[in-house]
Amino acid sequence: MGIYRVKNKEWKSYSLLISPTVIFVIFLQFYPLAYSFYISFQEWALTSSQLPQGFNYLKNYNDILNDSVFHRAVKNSLIITITSVFFQIVLGVILAYLTIGSTWTIRCIRTILILPMVIAPIAAGTLWRMLFNSRSGLINNLLIKVGIVGPEWLSDQTWSVISVIILDIWQATPFVLLVVVAGISSIPKDFQESASIDGASSFQIFLRIDLPILTPLLLIVFLFRFMDSLLNMDSVYSLTFGGPGYGTYTLTFYIYTLGLRNFNFGDASAASWIFMFFSIIFISFIFYLQKKYEN
């Protein structure tokens, strides 16, 4: 009983010491969220001489949901994200199996492959903007040498979307590679050796043993990459600036334009909360799938 009192007293002392930091962190996290939610129901534009301009209830949400540019941004975001994440996972798994091992050569190759991941997105976008230049870019010059006329990567709406997808795949595949390599290393070798003795091929071992074990990990990778790709604006900003027209307008670029170019923080906050609502639904669904698969 005496020990319990001493420990309880110590815990109260520790709680008293850390409480200012905890309160500050909670305030730092939740105040901006609460304030943006409050703004989303107001006519709040910096172009007006009076702030705030009063509640408009659901007008901001109604305007966003009926905005054709918002619909285009949602469509572009889903096309870019789903396509790029699919190829990131496929290429990441393939490269992981090709670079399994601890030899010096394998380690060097793996190090080279992960270099794109450490480049800042804004710098990567600028680099690929030069590569995709239809006149002086390296890619089109190489295509001309083999007798192919290169496309207008950044001035055609279809090819501009493809260019954003290529950039996202190039920069994010190394993350998938590293995670899958770690996952493969954790698979018990006994399973693979037993299957090999029974006459299973390498592909059958992957399909029947490795893939089922890696599936929960791949679902988490898919979740991280899907959300990160949806939130990515730096690459789009530096590569295409949302163009041509609304060709590569994504949700984050749409919100950025509303808030920091049009100074309409009411609409920008409403768009952010719509984005957050559907993100929560998607994340919950992925966790449900993972739990269901593990059970």
Report the predicted TM-score, pTM, of the whole model to 2 decimal places.
Answer: 0.87
- pLDDT per residue over 242-294, tens digit each? 888 898 999 999 999 999 888 889 999 999 999 999 999 988 888 888 787 77
DSSP string covering 110-131: HHHHTGGGGS-HHHHHHHHHHH
pLDDT in tens, 17-49: 788 888 888 888 889 899 999 999 988 777 666
> pLDDT, tens digit, for every residue of 82-93?
999 999 999 999
pLDDT digits (tens, 9 = 90+) for 90-139: 999 999 999 887 788 888 988 899 999 999 999 999 999 999 998 888 99
Residue 9: pLDDT band with limits 50, 70, 90: low
Beta carbons of 107 and 292 less than 8 angstroms apart: no
| pLDDT at residue 103, as a whole number | 82
Domains of the chain: 54-294 (1.10.3720.10)
